[in-house]
């Protein structure tokens, strides 16, 4: 056991039917400082609640915004305001649905004695869709390799290792990964970044950074979002991100990058190549308070709106109108995948005159999150396993010395052996 890990007392053993409230209450009694530390929180919850992956994700997110200390310092008569602010913070930072945000805030409030009991109607069924947003960065598909974060903070990588992009065996305390063409980034819980692989364009020169909250690897570029909402770029393209502020997520865009702000507005750092591109960019910049996520392709992008519908060219596209209750999208290069609230997945072409790709993903059920890239799709099931699918034109990694299905045999994300 690594130094600093918690040795659980026998008194903390919980029955199979124990609720997250019971578990948190016992943790508070035995280790008053545990729920102020991300790494320790994750370790203890894995031992006590191995079958509660969705609840663990919400607890981790609450700890990350320092919600425990906020509630500890909140007088009873000020709880209502604190609840509202904390729920909004969770919604802004993790694209969390409000019902899920309120659920976890109230859960901690009950444990801390600010509420007598959970309000009627608050149930774990409401938190399922939050996983899709929070799981961002847990799995990343590179050009010829894949990386995934395990629940214990270690990283598993497989595929082409010609540039040592899969040399992650010593990484610990990792909360997110990003895989590029030939390099891999790992974001530590303390806000620092690890990198391995090709550094031909200085894409791995990120070790000096602190207070990083998200990492992205696009081709030979590395993008790091800082906790203050700004972003920095390293690598081949030398993106100028000086206009980025209050950023919560970043997506690739033809000839540049798109930053999604916490309020849903967009910032762009790209080259305007023609009038059509200028028109689309003008539309994108008008999408204030609309955007939940973006999937991009060679000629443009589609937007997942906060109304859980797909937008293209400033309107909910008639072509995509049949698909509703969409909670996540993933770019697959030649197509994109949608995850619906019922846990099913569909792969769709960007253009209506293209055929729908024939893929095994259409048969998936109980999916909590999806990850795409380079014509490949990985699904994270609600019980923590990984599934793999290809689009109809995607070439198998086994042709490049890797059998992609190995991913499904990895230490499952969100579980322990």
The helix or strand, by DSSP H or E, that contains position 234, with its residue range, turns out to be: strand 231-235
Structure tokens at 187: 């974001």
Tell me: the pLDDT tens digits for 125-181? 334 434 444 566 788 999 889 898 876 678 888 888 999 999 999 998 887 899 999
pTM across the whole model: 0.68
Give me the pLDDT at residue 50, please.
64
Instruction: Count CA atoms closer than 13 A to 212's CA, side-chain side.
Output: 28
Give the span between the Cα atoms of 294 and 310, in whole angstroms: 10
Give the span between the Cα atoms of 59 and 65, in whole angstroms: 10
Domains of the chain: 10-132 (no CATH), 135-238 (2.130.10.30)
The helix or strand, by DSSP H or E, that contains position 258, with its residue range, turns out to be: strand 256-261
Is residue 389 within 8 Å of residue 361, measured between CB atoms?
yes
Sheet with 376-381, side-by-side order of all strands: 367-373, 376-381, 386-390
Give me the pLDDT at residue 87, please.
87
Cα–Cα distances (Å) from 289 to 101, 147, 286, 292, 327, in that order, read 19, 32, 9, 9, 16
Give me the pLDDT at residue 228, please.
86
Extract the residue ranges of the chain whose pLDDT is less than 70.
Answer: 1-18, 27-54, 94-96, 119-136, 151-152, 263-264, 270-291, 313-318, 383-384, 391-417
Give me the pLDDT at residue 289, please.
52
Judge residue 245's burial from the number of C-beta atoms within 10 Å of its C-beta, 0-12 exposed, 13-18 middle, 19 or more buried: middle
Give me the pLDDT at residue 2, please.
32
Give me the pLDDT at residue 49, please.
66
407: nearest Cα among 415, 397, 394, 416:
397
Residue recorded with tokens 């696009």 = 218
């Amino acid at each position: 056991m690594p130094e600093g890990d918690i040795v659980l007392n026998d008194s903390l053993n919980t029955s199979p039917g124990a609720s997250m409230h019971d578990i948190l209450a016992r943790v508070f009694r035995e280790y008053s400082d545990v729920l102020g530390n991300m790494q320790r929180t994750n370790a203890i919850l894995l031992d006590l609640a191995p079958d509660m992956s969705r609840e663990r994700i919400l607890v981790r997110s609450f700890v990350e915004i320092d919600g425990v200390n906020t509630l500890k310092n909140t007088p009873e008569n000020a709880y209502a305001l604190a609840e509202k602010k904390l729920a909004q913070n969770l919604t802004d930072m993790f694209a969390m649905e409000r019902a899920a945000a309120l659920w976890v805030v109230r859960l901690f409030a009950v444990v801390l004695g600010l509420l007598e009991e959970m309000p009627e109607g608050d149930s774990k069924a409401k938190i399922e869709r939050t996983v899709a947003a929070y799981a961002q960065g847990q799995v990343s598909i590179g050009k010829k390799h894949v990386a995934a974060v395990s629940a214990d903070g270690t990283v598993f990588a497989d595929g082409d290792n010609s540039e040592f992009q899969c040399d992650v065996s010593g990484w610990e305390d990792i909360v997110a990964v990003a895989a590029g063409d030939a390099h891999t980034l790992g974001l530590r819980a303390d806000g620092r970044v690890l990198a391995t692989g090709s550094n031909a364009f200085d894409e791995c020169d990120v070790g000096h950074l602190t207070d990083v909250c998200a990492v992205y690897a696009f081709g030979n570029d590395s993008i790091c979002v800082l906790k203050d909402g700004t972003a920095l770029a390293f690598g081949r393209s030398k993106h100028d991100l000086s206009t980025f502020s209050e950023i919560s997520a970043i997506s690739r865009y033809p000839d540049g990058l798109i930053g999604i702000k916490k309020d849903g507005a967009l910032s762009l750092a790209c080259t305007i190549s023609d009038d059509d591109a200028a028109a689309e960019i003008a539309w994108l910049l008008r999408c204030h308070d609309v955007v939940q996520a973006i999937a991009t392709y060679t000629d443009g992008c589609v937007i997942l709106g906060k109304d859980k519908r797909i937008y293209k060219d400033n309107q909910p596209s008639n072509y995509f109108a049949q698909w509703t209750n969409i909670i996540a999208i993933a770019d697959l290069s030649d197509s994109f995948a949608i995850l619906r609230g019922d846990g099913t997945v569909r792969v769709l072409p960007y253009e209506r005159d293209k055929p729908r790709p024939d893929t095994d993903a259409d048969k998936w059920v109980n999916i909590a999150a999806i990850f795409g890239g380079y014509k490949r799709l990985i699904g994270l099931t609600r019980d923590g396993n990984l599934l793999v699918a290809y689009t109809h034109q995607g070439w198998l990694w086994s042709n490049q010395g890797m059998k992609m299905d190995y991913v499904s045999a990895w230490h499952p994300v969100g579980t322990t052996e």
